[in-house]
Amino acid sequence: MFLLIITTLLSFISVHSTVLGKQVLKWINKPSIKEKELMTQKNELKKVQNSISITDNFAKYSKIQRQINKIDENLSDFRSEKNNLYIHFGLTYGLQIFFAIVLVGLSIYYRSTPVIAIDKSIDLTPFSYLISYPHSENVVSFHFWVLCSSTTARLIKL
């Protein structure tokens, strides 16, 4: 029963690891306190700038615009540090590779252990050898169960 639950969970996590990776990336890329302060300063300057007529007070308008541009440069510096391409691809594909390696390792380790024993009254004649490959009939092998649970996980869209 333990093997059944673990393989099913690992298969589902392996297939849907991009969803998990996106959540971790959101957490990593959340704005810091300094970024939030810069954003509020920028919004305040935008409000002041919108209240000023560009034709009447061009000098004041352009001075505020230069301050906004400086804040935008600082924000882009913060974002460029966080939006590292290696982190993005490392999380999305690294999780998939990690869980695939774990499933392959478990497949090798548990190759001689059946996941489920089926009652003798149930006959799976045309597929019994495929379902219980390294074992006798009326059992479900680890490899077959991983294949079935991964296929089912791919069919379920999150």
10 Å Cβ neighbour count for 99? 19
Using the Cα atoms of residue 25, residue 26, residue 29 and residue 32 in order, give the sign of their dihedral: negative
- Clarify whether residues 156 and 144 are in a common domain: yes
Whether 143 and 104 map to the same domain: the answer is yes
Q: Which of 47, 65, 82 is the last residue of a domain?
A: 82
6, two tokens: 């673990």
In tens, the pLDDT along 34-64 reads 888 888 888 888 888 888 887 788 888 888 8
Q: What is the pLDDT of residue 82?
A: 65
Domain endpoint, select from 82, 101, 123: 82
Q: For residues 117 and 139, is the Cβ–Cβ distance under 8 A? A: yes
Same-domain check for residues 76 and 1? no
**Which residues span the domain enclosing 103?**
1-29+86-158
Question: What is the domain count for the chain?
Answer: 2
Neighbours of 91 (CB within 10 A): 19
Q: Are residues 12 and 25 in the same domain?
A: yes
If asked whether residues 36 and 16 sit together in one domain, one would say no
Closest residue by Cα to residue 24 from 108, 87, 74, 66:
87
Share of the chain above pLDDT 70, in %: 96
5 and 57 inside one domain:
no
Is pTM, for the whole model, over 0.75? no
